Structure 1
Amino acid sequence: MTEYLDLVLAFIADNPSLAGLICFLAAMGEALFIIGLFVPTTVVLVGAGTLIGLGKLDPVPVFVWTTLGATAGDAISYWIGYAFKDKIKSMWPLNKYAHMMESGEKFFARHGGKSIFFGRFVPGVKSVVPGIAGMAGMNFTRFSIVNVTSAFAWTIAHLAPGVLAGSALSAIGEISGRLALVLGALLVVVFLFVMLGRWLILTILPLFPNAHAAIVTWFANRQDKTSQWIARTFDPAHPRSTGMLVSALLLLVTMPTFFWLVGEVAPGEPMVRADLAILNLFDSLRTPVGDKIMVFATTLGDGIVLTAITVAVAAYLFFRRAWRRGIGFVIAMAGTAMFVPLFKLMLHRARPLELYAGADAYSFPSGHATLNAVLFGICAVLIAHDLNRWAKAGIFTVAASYVITIGFSRIYLGAHWMSDVLAGLLFGTAMVSAFAFVFGPIHNEKIGRATMAVLVVATLAGFGGWHLSRTYDRALLTYEPRSNTEVLTVSGWLDGDWRAVPARRIELNGDREEPLVIQYSGPLNSFAETAREAGWQRPPKWSLTTASGFVEGQTPSDSLPILPRSQNGRQPEMVLIRKDANEAEGGRWVLRLWPSRFEIVKDGHLHALYVGSVVHEDILRPMGEFSGPRTDLETPPSAQNPALLLPGAVTRVRGDGTEVVLALGREAGALPKNGSDPVTGPQDP
C-alpha cells in the first residue's frame, strides 16, 4: 500500500509546476461567484500543504501560485458583480442561492470594505462577497489592496494545517512508513466525511430550495390522517421541521441499509471475502507504535467508560428536569445495550480473533461502534440543539470524528470485521436520528449546552484516563498481532494440501478474479533469475515519464508501468512482464506473486509460500493517441506458465480444469525428479 502513496507523491514531486497550476486553479475556483461552492479547494490545498510537510513540494512556488489564484478569483467575481449589478440575482444558477446573496449583502453592509478580508474566511458568504462589492461599486484600488492582503492570509490558513500534518507524518514515517500510512488513512476518512457534509449543506441543499414546501403541500392536499400529520409536522413554517425532516430521512436510509448488510455477511457472500481482504491489509500495516495509538482509542470506547458517561449525562438531564429527553436518552442507550448482544447471539458470526466470552464472543454488529455512535451522537444532538448550522456542523464533526476513530481502531486491531463496524455505525446513526426526530422539537427543556459539553468531555477525560491507567498494558497484550500462518510439509503440500491455498485472486471488494496458477516457495530473486532466461523482466517503475506513456499511442508494452492489484488485501511481492514475441500483437504477459498465509517447512526451515497469477494484457490504442492495457487472457497456455521453468516444478489440475504449478526455489530445495509429471488432483472443495 505504501508504494501507491509513494507513486502519487513522486508524480507530483517530479512535476512541481503542475502542482502550482492545480493550486492556482483551485484557489481561483473557490473565489468565483457561487462556482466556488463546487470547487474542492480545501481538499486540494490541505493535500498540497501535506506534500510540502512531507518534503515533496517546494513551499514558495505553491504559496505564490495559491495566493495569485485566490486574488484572481476574487477579482473576477468583483468584475462580474460590477458588470451585471442587480441583474445577477435573477440569473441561473445564482437565483438558486438567493439566501447566500442576502447573507452576503448583509455581511458587506455591516463590515464594508473589511468584509472582503473577513468574508474570505466565512463559509456561506466567501463566494459572493467580492461580487457584491462590485455590485455596490466599491473602489477597485481599495478592493485590490484588501483582496491581495486577504489572499495572502487565506493561503497561509489553508496550507498551514497540511504542512503541520505532513511534517508530523514525515516524522512518524521516519519511525515507520506503515504507521504514517495508517494514520494518514484515518485522517483521510475523517476529512472526507467532514467535506462531504459541508458539500451537502452548502452545495446540494440550495439546489432544491422549494422541495421541502412542495413535499409538505402534496401531503397537505391528501385527506388521510397520516398525510395530514406529516404536513403539520414538517411544515416549513415550523422552526424545527428541517431538522426533523433530515432525521426522518436518515432513519429511512440507515435502518434498511443495516438490514441489507445483515444479508451480505452470510457465508459465501462477497462481503465476507472483502472483510478478510481488508483484515489482511491492516494486518500488513500494523506497527508497535500504531498498536499503542489504536489500543488507546479503542480502550476509551470500552463499555465501562460509556457507562460512566451515560450515567453522568442521564443524571444531569434529570437534575435539569429535562424529563422527556432524559427518559429518551436512557431508553436509547439501554435499548442499544440490549440490542447488540441479542443480535450477536442471533447471527453467531465469529470474530477475527477470540477476545471475550458469551454474546460478546460474536462480532456482528460492533458494540464499540454502535454504543459510541448512539452515546456521542445523542450528546451532539442535545448540545447542538437550537444553535446555528455552522455550530451544529462543528459539534457533529467532532462527535463523528471521535466515533469513526474508535470504529477504525476496531478494524485495525482485528477485533472486528469491517462490516461489523459499518453495521454498528449504521444502527447507531439510526438510533440518533430517531432520538432527534422525537425529542428535537422540544423547546421548553433548558439543559445548559455548554455545561453538558464540559460534563461529557470531563467524564471522558477523567474516567477514561483512570480506565486507561488500569487496563492499557493488559489491552496491548490482548490486541497484540496474532499470526494466522499455517505450516505445511513438502510432502503434505504435494499430496493435497495445495488445495487449501486460494484458487482465485480476491479483490478488496470481495470479488473473485483471475485464477492463481502458481504456488511457489523460495527466494523471489531465484524465481526472477530463472524467468529472465525466458524473457521475463521487471516492469518500469511509476514516474512522470512512464505514466506519460499512457497518453502516447506508440508506447511499447514493456514501457508501461503495471496497474496495481491486490490479493486478499496483500500487495504483490514481485511483478514480472514479458512482451509478446510477435511485435504486431503489441501485448504483454504479467506475472504477480503475492504472499499467502502458508509456509513450507523444509529441512527444519520455514519458507514463505507465494501465490501467483499470469495474465495477458492487450494494449489498446484508441485513435492512436493513447495506450491502455486490458486483460484479455486470465491464464497462460499450459506449457507457458513461467513457474514450469523452475527445476522440479509439478503441475496439478483443479476441479474446474485450471492448472496450478507448484515449485520450490533453490534455497528451499527442489522437488522430486518425478514431480514434473502432471498429476490430476480431485475436485477442489
Structure 2
Amino acid sequence: MLDIIQPYLDYFTVHPEWALVIIFLIAMGEALLIIGLFVPSTAVLVGAGVLVGTGHLGFWPVVTVTAVGCIVGDQISYWAGRLFGQRLKTMWPLHLYPQLVAKGEDFVRQHGGKSIAIGRFVPGVKSVVPGIVGMFGMNQLFFVFVNVTSGIVWAFAHVVPGVLIGRGLAFAGELSGRLLVVLLVLLVLLALAGYVIRLAAAGVSPFLNHLLARVSAWARARRGRSWQRFARAVSPGNPRSVMIVLFAAILFTGLVALANLAIRAASSDAVSNIDVSLATLMRESRNAPADELMTVITMMGDTIVLSALALAILVWLVWHKAYRAAWAAGIAIVAAKAFELAMKLGIQRARPTELSYSGASLFSFPSGHATMAAVIFGILAVLVSHSMGRWGRALVYATCAILAVAIAYSRLYLGAHWLSDVLAGLTFGVVMMAAFGVAIEAIPPRRIKPHGLFATALVVFLGAGALHVATGFTRASEMYAVQDPLTLVPVAQWIDKDWEKLPARRIDLAGKPEESFIAQFAGNLDLLAAQLEAGGWSATPEWTWGQSLPYLNPNAALPDLAPRPALHEGLKAKLTLTRAAAGDGEGREVIRIYKTGLAATEGTAYKPIYLVSLTREVRTHGFDLYAIPSPRPASAADIADLRGVLSRAGGIAILSGHERGGIRQDLITASP
C-alpha cells in the first residue's frame, strides 16, 4: 500500500502546482449552486492539509488557493442569482430541489447578510445561499466584503485541522511505516463514508424519493394486505422509509464483507499474520484478575444463556400477539445457528488453543459466541428501538452493541478464537439484524410494549448468566486457563532443521516483516544480560505507553527516549538493551530478544529458544513537535561484535544472516 501511495506523494512534492489546481477547483466547485452538494470538499481540503502536515505541500499556497477558490465559487453563484432572479428557481438543477431552495430562502430571511458567512458552514444550504442572496438583490460591495472575509476563515477552518492530522500521521509514520498506511487508509474510508452520507442526506434525496415512490407504486399494484403494508412503509411520505433503506444498505455491505472473510478462511491453509500476531499479543497480556473477568463475560455468551435470552424475546412477542415479528426473529436465530454450524464443519479451522469442545464446536470459524450474541442482541435492539426517538434508539443500540462486543472480545482474550473468526461472527450478526430490521420497518409489529420487552430481556439475560456462572465458573476457568505453548525439540533437531521453521525477520502487529534476526539463542537470559552489561550494554525496562510521553518533547536527547516499541508477532521483547554507537557512529545500538514457542532439550534439561535482533537508532524530530528514535540497519561490525558475545554466553547460538537470497548458518556451541 505504501508503494502505491508514495509515487503520488512524490509527484505532488515535485509538481505542487497540480495539487494547487485540484484544490482550487474543489474549493470553487463546493461553492457553486447545487453542484456543491456533490463535491467532496471537506475530505479533499482536509486531505490537502494532511499533505501540508506531512511536508509534501506548502501551508500558505494551499490556504491561498482554497480561499480564492471558495470566494470565486460564491461570486459566480451570486452573479447567477442577480442575472436570472426568481427564474433561477425554475431552471435546472434548482428545480429538482424545491425544498432545499425554500430552506435556503428561509435561512437568508432569518440571518440577512450574516447568512453568507454562516451558510458556508451549514451543510445543504451553503450550496444555494449565494445564489439566493443574489436573487434577493443584495448589494455587490457588501457581498464581496462578507464573501472575502468569511472565505478566508473557511479556508483556515478546513486546512488547519488537516495540518494537525498530517503532523500526527508524520509522528505515527516515524514509529511505524505500516501504522502510517493504516491511518491513511482509515482516513480515506472515513472521508468516503462521510461523502456517501452527505449524498444520501442531501444530494440524492430527489432520486431516492423517486426510487422509493416507484417501489411503493409497484408494491401497491400487487394484491395482498402484506404488499399494501409494504407499499405504505417504503412510501416517501413515510418517515420510516429511510430506516428501511439504511438497513438494506447495511445488509448489502455486510454480505460483501462476510463473503470476503469466508472465502479467505476457506481458501487459506493457515491463518493470517494479523490473526497470529493479535492472538500472541492477547496471550502475552493475560493476567489473573482479567482472566476471571473475561471468563465471566464469555460465559454470558454461552449457548445456554443466549438461548434463555432468545426464548424470552420470542415468548414476549407471542404473548403480545406479534406473531409476524416472532416468526421473523425465530427464523433469524435459527438461520444464525445453522450458518455457524455449517461454516465450522465446512472450513474446520483449528482454534488458537485447544479447548475441551466436541463436535462442530471443535472448530474456530466463525465464533459462535460472537455470531449469536450479535444476532440476538441485534434483534432485541431493532424491536425495542422501533418506536423510539433518535436518542432513545441510540441508547438501546449502544447498550446491545456493548454487550455483544464485550462477549466477542472475551473470545479473543481467552484465546478461543482468531480475530477473523470474531469479525465473521459479528458481521453475520449485523447482516441478520439488518434483514430483520427491514422486515420490522416494512411491517411494524403492534402492541409489543418495547420498554417492558427490554427490561424483561435484560433481567432474563442477567439472571440466566448469573446462575450459569455460579454453577460452572470453576470448570470454565480450568478450560480457559493459560496453556504453555512451549514445544520441546532435541538440540540436534533444532540445529539440523528446526531453526529454519522460526521467522527470519521480525513480524510487526500488522503482519509486515521488519528487520532480520541475526541469531537464535537457547540459554539463560540472565547470564546473557550479565555478559552484555559487562560489555557496556544497559538493560531497559519493559516498554509501556507511559514511556512514549518523552517523545512529545522536541528537545529531548536520545538517551532520554526509550527505545521504540517493536513487537514480534504481538510479543514484547523479553530483554532490551542499549549502548552508545561504537566509534564515531551516530545514535545508539539496540538489542531486542524475543521468546519463541520452541525450547531446546538435552536429556531432562531444556532451555527456551530466543530470536535476537540488532538495530541502530538515531534521534529524529518532526515540525519541532516531537522527537523519537528511528531505526537504522546495524553495521557489520556491530553484528560481528554481538555474535561474539553470544558465542561466549553459556548457551547454544545459531547465527544466521541473509546472503544472496539464501541463509548462511554458523553454529557455535557452548555448554548446554
**Interval of TM-score (by shorter of Structure 1 and Structure 2):** 0.5 to 0.7
Partner residue of 1:524? Answer: 525
For residue 615 of structure 1, what is the amino acid of its counterpart?
A: T
Partner residue of 2:208? Answer: 216
Partner residue of 2:237? Answer: 237
Question: 1:518, 1:660 within 8 Å by CA — same for their partners in 2?
Answer: no
Change (3 A) 1:411 1:628: closer
Q: Deviations over 1:170-216 (max 9, x none)?
A: xxxxxxxxxxxxxxxxxxxxxxxxxxxxx999999679641451441
Indicate yes or no: 2:95 matched with 1:95.
Answer: no
Match for residue 657 of structure 1 among 650, 662, 667: 662
Separation in structure 2 between the aligned mates of residue 547 and residue 660 of structure 1, nearest angstrom: 41
Separation in structure 2 between the aligned mates of residue 388 and residue 292 of structure 1, nearest angstrom: 38
Separation in structure 2 between the aligned mates of residue 300 and residue 467 of structure 1, nearest angstrom: 8
Q: TM-score normalised to the size of structure 1?
A: 0.62
Separation in structure 1 between the aligned mates of residue 521 and residue 413 of structure 2, nearest angstrom: 29
Indicate yes or no: 2:405 matched with 1:413.
Answer: no
Separation in structure 2 between the aligned mates of residue 388 and residue 202 of structure 1, nearest angstrom: 23
Separation in structure 2 between the aligned mates of residue 415 and residue 598 of structure 1, nearest angstrom: 22
SS of the aligned residue for 2:576 comes to strand
Separation in structure 2 between the aligned mates of residue 407 and residue 439 of structure 1, nearest angstrom: 26
Q: Deviations over 1:334-390 (max 9, x none)?
A: 111111110111111111223322222111110110011100110111011120111
Separation in structure 1 between the aligned mates of residue 528 and residue 547 of structure 2, nearest angstrom: 28
SS of the aligned residue for 1:446 comes to coil
Q: Deviations over 1:449-498 (max 9, x none)?
A: 12211221222133333322332221112212211111233333333332
Separation in structure 1 between the aligned mates of residue 429 and residue 252 of structure 2, nearest angstrom: 13
Shift of 1:439: 1.6
Shift of 1:499: 2.4
Question: 1:517, 1:661 within 8 Å by CA — same for their partners in 2?
Answer: no
Structure 2: segments with no counterpart, 5+ residues = 1-109, 126-190, 222-229
Partner residue of 1:129? Answer: none
Separation in structure 1 between the aligned mates of residue 458 and residue 427 of structure 2, nearest angstrom: 24
SS of the aligned residue for 1:516 comes to strand
Separation in structure 2 between the aligned mates of residue 321 and residue 546 of structure 1, nearest angstrom: 59
Partner residue of 1:251? Answer: 251
Structure 1: segments with no counterpart, 5+ residues = 1-83, 99-198, 665-669, 673-685
Question: 1:277, 1:510 within 8 Å by CA — same for their partners in 2?
Answer: yes
Question: 2:518, 2:655 within 8 Å by CA — same for their partners in 1?
Answer: no
Separation in structure 2 between the aligned mates of residue 329 and residue 447 of structure 1, nearest angstrom: 13
Moved more, 453-462 or 631-640: 631-640
For residue 342 of structure 1, what is the amino acid of its counterpart?
A: A
SS of the aligned residue for 2:564 comes to coil
Partner residue of 1:303? Answer: 303
Question: 2:367, 2:424 within 8 Å by CA — same for their partners in 1?
Answer: yes
Separation in structure 2 between the aligned mates of residue 231 and residue 96 of structure 1, nearest angstrom: 31
Partner residue of 1:439? Answer: 440
Change (3 A) 1:221 1:653: same
Change (3 A) 1:266 1:220: closer
Partner residue of 1:642? Answer: 642
Moved more, 419-428 or 253-262: 253-262
Separation in structure 1 between the aligned mates of residue 259 and residue 482 of structure 2, nearest angstrom: 31
Q: Deviations over 1:397-436 (max 9, x none)?
A: 1101111111111111111111111110011011101110
Change (3 A) 1:438 1:558: same
Q: Deviations over 1:215-240 (max 9, x none)?
A: 41564799999999999975553210
For residue 657 of structure 1, what is the amino acid of its counterpart?
A: G
Partner residue of 2:358? Answer: 357
Partner residue of 1:328? Answer: 328
Moved more, 473-482 or 89-98: 89-98
Q: Deviations over 1:15-50 (max 9, x none)?
A: xxxxxxxxxxxxxxxxxxxxxxxxxxxxxxxxxxxx
Change (3 A) 1:503 1:319: same
Partner residue of 1:595? Answer: 595
Separation in structure 1 between the aligned mates of residue 290 and residue 547 of structure 2, nearest angstrom: 35
SS of the aligned residue for 2:489 comes to strand
Q: Deviations over 1:513-554 (max 9, x none)?
A: 22222222334343234334555444698999996577658x
Change (3 A) 1:265 1:525: same
Partner residue of 1:276? Answer: 276
Change (3 A) 1:473 1:219: same
Partner residue of 1:489? Answer: 490
For residue 376 of structure 1, what is the amino acid of its counterpart?
A: F
SS of the aligned residue for 2:586 comes to coil
Moved more, 223-232 or 424-433: 223-232
SS of the aligned residue for 1:96 comes to coil
Shift of 1:566: 0.5
Change (3 A) 1:527 1:312: same
Moved more, 628-637 or 322-331: 628-637
Question: 1:382, 1:449 within 8 Å by CA — same for their partners in 2?
Answer: yes
SS of the aligned residue for 2:662 comes to coil
Moved more, 612-621 or 298-307: 612-621
Separation in structure 1 between the aligned mates of residue 450 and residue 247 of structure 2, nearest angstrom: 20
Question: 1:96, 1:209 within 8 Å by CA — same for their partners in 2?
Answer: no
For residue 513 of structure 2, what is the amino acid of its counterpart?
A: R
Shift of 1:588: 3.8
SS of the aligned residue for 1:238 comes to coil
Separation in structure 1 between the aligned mates of residue 356 and residue 417 of structure 2, nearest angstrom: 10
Separation in structure 1 between the aligned mates of residue 398 and residue 362 of structure 2, nearest angstrom: 32
Question: 1:593, 1:613 within 8 Å by CA — same for their partners in 2?
Answer: yes
Partner residue of 2:376? Answer: 375
Moved more, 309-318 or 496-505: 496-505
Separation in structure 2 between the aligned mates of residue 402 and residue 439 of structure 1, nearest angstrom: 22
Partner residue of 2:74? Answer: none
Question: 2:233, 2:443 within 8 Å by CA — same for their partners in 1?
Answer: no
Indicate yes or no: 2:461 matched with 1:460.
Answer: yes
Separation in structure 2 between the aligned mates of residue 288 and residue 557 of structure 1, nearest angstrom: 36
Separation in structure 1 between the aligned mates of residue 329 and residue 427 of structure 2, nearest angstrom: 18
Shift of 1:395: 0.6
Separation in structure 1 between the aligned mates of residue 400 and residue 411 of structure 2, nearest angstrom: 17
Question: 1:216, 1:235 within 8 Å by CA — same for their partners in 2?
Answer: no
Q: Which has the larger radius of gyration?
A: 2
Change (3 A) 1:406 1:552: closer
SS of the aligned residue for 1:461 comes to helix
Q: TM-score normalised to the size of structure 2?
A: 0.63
Indicate yes or no: 2:450 matched with 1:449.
Answer: yes
For residue 370 of structure 1, what is the amino acid of its counterpart?
A: T
Partner residue of 1:387? Answer: 388
Separation in structure 2 between the aligned mates of residue 474 and residue 92 of structure 1, nearest angstrom: 63
Shift of 1:246: 1.8
Q: Deviations over 1:618-662 (max 9, x none)?
A: 555679997554434378569625133234565455784345677
Question: 1:351, 1:416 within 8 Å by CA — same for their partners in 2?
Answer: yes
Question: 1:588, 1:617 within 8 Å by CA — same for their partners in 2?
Answer: yes
Separation in structure 2 between the aligned mates of residue 472 and residue 490 of structure 1, nearest angstrom: 41
Partner residue of 2:429? Answer: 428
SS of the aligned residue for 2:458 comes to helix
Separation in structure 1 between the aligned mates of residue 456 and residue 510 of structure 2, nearest angstrom: 41
Question: 1:271, 1:510 within 8 Å by CA — same for their partners in 2?
Answer: no
What percent of counterpart residues are identical? 27
For residue 520 of structure 2, what is the amino acid of its counterpart?
A: Q
Indicate yes or no: 2:328 matched with 1:313.
Answer: no
Change (3 A) 1:221 1:269: farther
- For these two proteins, the number of residue pairs brought into alignment is 485
Indicate yes or no: 2:471 matched with 1:470.
Answer: yes
Change (3 A) 1:589 1:578: same
CA-based RMSD: 4.2
For residue 301 of structure 1, what is the amino acid of its counterpart?
A: G
Change (3 A) 1:520 1:214: farther
Question: 1:219, 1:231 within 8 Å by CA — same for their partners in 2?
Answer: no
